[in-house]
A and B are shown apart, each in its own frame.
Chain A
Amino acid sequence: MLGGLMMMNWKHIAAAGLLALMSPLTAHATGNADCSIEEPGLKLFFEGLYSYGGTGEIFQSHASIELTDPKRPPGNWTFDMDGSVLQQQWVRGDDFRVLIYKEREGADMVLEINAKRTTPDDIEFPGTYKLVIGPSDGSLFSRTGKVACSAG
């Protein structure tokens, strides 16, 4: 399925994502939202601003990844990403969900983060991640683990 993505209308998807991320900043108070993964073979840091009031959406985000897992696809998997990779998000109430997509080394990288606040009003959102990289030859690299997110 991921291999077929290359034929998709990525310009449409990217444009939609950019439009969503370029929404005007309002007078709502902002805070910081971030997620980090630090385990053997994978380090990731995602960070952005989000509005306390209004929509609670994350904006002005960026991320960096260092994938050294020996089973990773060929190529350089240590790089930075700008906010355009944030394709989906749901940060509301106790939920902190983020979907990051990046075309890299002829492959499609999808990182899904599902975190949930366990204590009311806490700024910590522990959760899990799933990283899938689908090279054009159809083989898949995937790994899962734990992620620590915070918003406050």
Chain B
Amino acid sequence: MKKTIAFFSLLAGFAALPGIASATGGLGCGIDDKNVKLEFESLFSYSDIGGLFQIRGVLESKDKRTYEALQKMTLEATDLKQQWFRDNDVKLMLYRETTGDGVPFASVKLIIEATKPPEEDFGYDGKYSLTVQPVGDGAEAFTVEGKVGCSAG
């Protein structure tokens, strides 16, 4: 039920966006556990292409080893590096790394892989993995995993 409410809230939000053609739908994914908070929203066409656009949302890595500038970030279209939204699959890769002169390298990569069960009209269940490269010589990347829910329609 919560998933359904969240989905229709997402659609209502999209309906308020100006200039959106009627042949579009919304895809949203959410995570809120001890490691990650994600609010991901996007639009897709009901065509046979299905690519996502108007990406927005927030990704938060709760692990304090995450570089400060990457701990909580407002998502942009360029953060979506790979996507596969076809049939019953949703696969997303969100990635951002530090940029700028003198800024140490650090990165955050979130991978979502979810599928729609046969009995579901809108909901996708799956897993996520968040790989974080902290700052510092010898600092090793670490990965946390958990469950993710997505809705599309």
Query: Footprint of B on A, CB under 8 Å?
Result: 1-2, 4-5, 7-9, 12-13, 15-17, 19-20, 22-24, 26, 54-57, 87-92, 97, 99, 101, 108, 110, 112, 132, 134
Contact in complex: B82, A90 (CB < 8 Å):
yes
A99 / chain B contacts, CB cutoff of 8 Å: 49-51, 84, 86
* Cβ 8 A contact of B86, one of A19, A55, A88, A132: A88
Contact in complex: A1, B77 (CB < 8 Å):
no
Contact in complex: A16, B77 (CB < 8 Å):
yes
Query: Footprint of A on B, CB under 8 Å?
Result: 19-21, 23-24, 43, 45-55, 77-78, 80-86, 91, 93, 95, 97, 99, 107, 109, 111
* Cβ 8 A contact of A88, one of B43, B49, B78, B107: B49
Contact in complex: A20, B97 (CB < 8 Å):
no
- Residue on B nearest A132 in the bound complex, by CB: B48
- Residue on A nearest B89 in the bound complex, by CB: A90
Contact in complex: A57, B82 (CB < 8 Å):
yes
* In the complex with contacts A15-B53, A54-B107, A90-B81 CB distance below 8 A: no
Contact in complex: A16, B85 (CB < 8 Å):
no
* Cβ 8 A contact of B78, one of A13, A20, A26, A101: A20
A89 / chain B contacts, CB cutoff of 8 Å: 82-84
* Cβ 8 A contact of A55, one of B54, B55, B85, B109: B109
* In the complex with contacts A8-B23, A20-B78, A23-B81, A108-B109 CB distance below 8 A: no
- Residue on A nearest B85 in the bound complex, by CB: A88
Contact in complex: A92, B82 (CB < 8 Å):
yes
Contact in complex: A9, B20 (CB < 8 Å):
yes
Q: A147–B45 Cα gap in the complex (Å)?
A: 27
A112 / chain B contacts, CB cutoff of 8 Å: 86
